[in-house]
Amino acid sequence: MLLQIEHLKVQSFTGAELVRDVSFTVADGEIVGLVGESGCGKSITALTVAGLLPEGIRPTRGRVVFDHVDMVTLSRQERRALNGSRIGMVFQDALTALNPLLPVGHQIGEVLKIHTDMNRIERRKRVLEVMSAVDLPNPEELSRRYPHELSGGQRQRVLIAMAVINNPSLLIADEPTTALDSVVQGQILALLKDINSKEQVSILFISHDLSTVRRLCDRVVVLYAGIPAEIGTTAQVLARPAHVYTELLLAAIPTPDKRGQTLAQIPGQVADDRGPVTFCPFAPRCPKAISRCRKELPELREVEPGHWVACFLAEGGYDLGT
């Protein structure tokens, strides 16, 4: 198993639990989608794996085992050495992630300069190769442009080039299509799928959009308030959702058969209180909640092979009780 996250808890310096208890795996060559609303802990989980947590936020429990090495036990310097070589990171906002004062070719080459012994000529050759591989047109000319001179889709491809230039084993993509129009979104998803297929790179794909995850991912982890609500193959979770939260997320996706209809909405929002929880964190928003949901915290249970859910209402999973 390339990546194994076990009972991860991440807290801020104030004690707020940003990630409460997250466990899942990513196999070699697999694409796993980490899905949920803003504030559910998906980006913090991704930054923990990449070793890029901001100051004042740290893992306080659990393990993040990447290729048999527990990332939590490494120093900041050791984690950053892996990020850019064995682990590649694609951020959501390319314009913010890129340095506005440097040509994009120079920025791609910096990754090689930090992590390899290549000379300048070798780095330049590799930069042009990877720019071509991610479908950036006229790499020689475009490499000399600055970020503001590129389109949004081109800037996102530059970030992908930076992430894959050292042939990493794991690519983390944190909402890489959110700021792009639908046509460019499709192109970026196709590029990620192509990289996964050709290079056998595992991908941890962060998104709030289940329709995007459906197009790309092999498996899905649905997070709510820092806890997995449902885990399974994409087909299992999207065709047979077993958690009420997943059902509502799917009902909110616009589809041709819903034309002219009012889309479903999830009432309320993720609670701001990030202290320890002793009951289902979705219960205050759940239209199907029973009294047990407000008293006990459900554990993940397997409702079919490979399909896990933490919901007292899951079919075949629990005695509903009262």
The per-residue pLDDT for 258 is 64
pLDDT at 261: 66
Q: How far does Cα 38 stand from its chain's mean position?
A: 12
> Residue 321's pLDDT is what?
41
Q: Which pLDDT score, from 0 to 100, does residue 272 have?
A: 72
Q: Other CB atoms closer than 10 Å to residue 230's CB: what's the count? A: 28
Alpha carbon distance 21, 6 (integer Å): 8
d(CA 117, CA 107): 17
The single residue listed with the structure tokens 């951020």 is 91
pLDDT at 275: 80
pLDDT computed for residue 129 by the predictor: 98
Can you tell me whether residue 21 is helix, strand or coil?
Answer: strand
- Residue 24 phi, psi dihedral angles, 5° rounding: -170, 170
Q: Which residues of the chain have pLDDT under 50?
A: 316-322
Task: Specify the DSSP element, H or E, that contains 314.
Answer: none
Residues 76-111 have pLDDT tens digits of 888 878 888 999 999 988 999 999 999 999 999 999
The DSSP annotation for 227-280 comes to EEEEEEEHHHHHHS--SHHHHHHHHTS--GGGTTSPPP---S---S--S--SS-
Maximum pairwise Cα distance, the chain:
70
pLDDT for the residue 84: 85
- Distance between terminal CA atoms of the chain? 40
pLDDT at 76: 81
**Quick one: CA dihedral 205, 211, 212, 213, positive or negative?**
positive
Q: List CB contacts of 261: < 8 A, sequence separation 6 or more.
A: none
CA gap 230, 211 in Å, rounded: 16
What pTM did the predictor assign?
Answer: 0.93
CA distance 2 to 204: 11
Q: How far apart, in Å, are the Cα atoms of 38 and each of 175, 183, 272, 273?
A: 11, 24, 11, 14
Q: Is 109 exposed, middle or buried (0-12, 13-18, 19+ CB in 10 A)?
A: buried
What is the distance between the alpha carbons of residues 182 and 142, in angstroms, rounded to a whole number? 24
Domains by residue range for the chain, with CATH: 3-86+168-309 (3.40.50.300), 100-165 (no CATH)
Q: Which tokens in the block code for residue 72?
A: 């939590």
